[in-house]
Structure 1
């Protein structure tokens, strides 16, 4: 029975790593041993769990169902073990957080950077992601989202103030292409596109004015999956980017960038840390939550 349980654990590592080489290194066994173990599991179950090619490994339909079933159960066991080991004098353990590059750069890391020096036994793993991840299935302890997108069954703790997205470009770009006066004018401009991790599509720019909401599907030469490089591209005159205002306020004040459609960009509720209630048992996790908790001054 114990060997069977190890087979399932090793399958989960392969499914998550999508590579026998990386999975074997992570587990600490040879690749041939791992491959033999997975074949033995598939034979015992009478199902093909993994589709193998020379370059990649992916789960079959049956394998994905098994992965989704195993991941939250293993995460719950790890949580219980972490809760036991956290009963020592100093909080310890690993906290895994999925977070956007903006939230990590401007909110999470500035708060945790001084704190973690006082807690050397707490390890924090950041996964930069702009999608809506299922933190339970994907093995994260917490995620960071805007308040309006947090699932109702999650605990949500506000960790930042209201903020807004702004459309920005260089003065040189607007001198050459003109200044958009309404969101519809963006169709004739070179706009930087942000690919979303969940779904694989591109973010539709959201605007609001006088109670009127508008979503614009923009087009442009450059496409990114994170926000920070857009600022550099806008400074270089490649077009218009739609980014958090606090990423560009210094450039705007210095005249290097110009905000357009300002009256179409109202503020909205800020970031929340969200997590299942079971995660509150870990002392290390409590330290992280208390450090990130927002307090308006």
Structure 2
């Protein structure tokens, strides 16, 4: 392999990942024409077309996909090895990218990140808040955060939070007017505030459990929201019953602006886990963050 070959391979990888010469050039800090010339030289040397170019997009050919399958793990391994060299420095350094939900970011991730980055200022953390199930490998994240029940089997998972509970609730005025549901199926006679799931686009079916019996109830009402804080505000305003992780409403339950119902049907469930691919070599910065997040009973 000649000197320019590795650089041309890296440039081809950047173009394929960004699906754009313009974005890849900006990311690499080179001109678009120089980048195009490097990829063309690589294609000429291999005698194969690696990218299909149109006026609107760039996509790998079959040969390009096969080359990408080889390059991705190789360059990720090189990047991990280079980053691990920071362990030789006096102060730990590096960047950690994590994808998680807003609730996990606020209650679990941020307190740990706040402490860690104050203690180790050369460690940089990027938190990507996403309500859906992000593919952390495709998104080039170091790790993600999910509830224990939704973890992929091929990932390493580390518990980072306590068990959680759901809460069903409404304003005292609403309950005084419409009555208090005694069992989950009573919700069919009530106005309920629906949550639209970002991960699937559908409405969340409320999940209850008591004495080993699990029930999922599809509720109805005049409001459909995709933000939990708005759901809480709507419930306080008397628009109906709502359902979410109890952390969101502890203050309102304490001050009496909301009242809890069906509490005996809301049993604790597995909380948050940090997960990452078993094939990825953790960096020093990642190991420090993992240790800061690890849940200790």
TM > 0.5 fold call? yes
SS of match in other structure, 2:79: helix
How far apart, CA to CA, are the structure 2 residues paired with 1:8 and 1:82? Answer: 22
Match of 2:166 in 1: 165
Contact (CA 8 Å) 1:166, 1:259: kept in 2 or not? yes
How far apart, CA to CA, are the structure 2 residues paired with 1:259 and 1:63? Answer: 59
SS of match in other structure, 2:132: coil
Match of 1:193 in 2: 195
Match of 1:132 in 2: 133
Cα offset for 1:119? Answer: 0.6
Contact (CA 8 Å) 1:7, 1:37: kept in 2 or not? yes
How far apart, CA to CA, are the structure 1 residues paired with 2:165 and 2:228? Answer: 14
Change (3 A) 1:107 1:64: farther
Deviations 1:121-166 (A, max 9, x none): 1001111123333322321111111223223332222111111111
Question: Counterparts of 1:113-132 in structure 2 under 5 Å?
Answer: 113-132=114-133
Question: Counterparts of 1:1-297 in structure 2 under 5 Å?
Answer: 1-2=5-6, 4-15=8-19, 23-30=24-31, 46=49, 49=52, 53=56, 69=69, 71-187=72-188, 188-197=190-199, 199-220=200-221, 221-224=223-226, 226-279=227-280, 281-296=282-297
How far apart, CA to CA, are the structure 2 residues paired with 1:228 and 1:58? Answer: 40
Question: TM-score of the superposition, structure 2-length normalised?
Answer: 0.80
Q: Structure 2 stretches of 5 or more lacking a match? A: none
SS of match in other structure, 1:91: coil
SS of match in other structure, 1:163: coil
Cα offset for 1:93? Answer: 0.6
Change (3 A) 1:186 1:119: same
SS of match in other structure, 2:275: strand
For the aligned residue pairs, the C-alpha RMSD in angstroms reads: 3.4
Contact (CA 8 Å) 1:115, 1:291: kept in 2 or not? yes
Cα offset for 1:80? Answer: 2.2
* Most deviating of 101-110 and 148-157: 148-157
Deviations 1:208-233 (A, max 9, x none): 12221112233442221x53443333
Contact (CA 8 Å) 2:80, 2:281: kept in 1 or not? no
Deviations 1:66-97 (A, max 9, x none): 79846555433322221123331111111111
Question: TM-score of the superposition, structure 1-length normalised?
Answer: 0.80
Change (3 A) 1:262 1:32: farther
How far apart, CA to CA, are the structure 2 residues paired with 1:177 and 1:160? Answer: 37
How far apart, CA to CA, are the structure 2 residues paired with 1:102 and 1:227? Answer: 9
Count residues in correspondence.
288
Cα offset for 1:12? Answer: 3.7
How far apart, CA to CA, are the structure 1 residues paired with 2:68 and 2:186? Answer: 44
How far apart, CA to CA, are the structure 1 residues paired with 2:197 and 2:154? Answer: 27
Q: Structure 1 stretches of 5 or more lacking a match? A: none
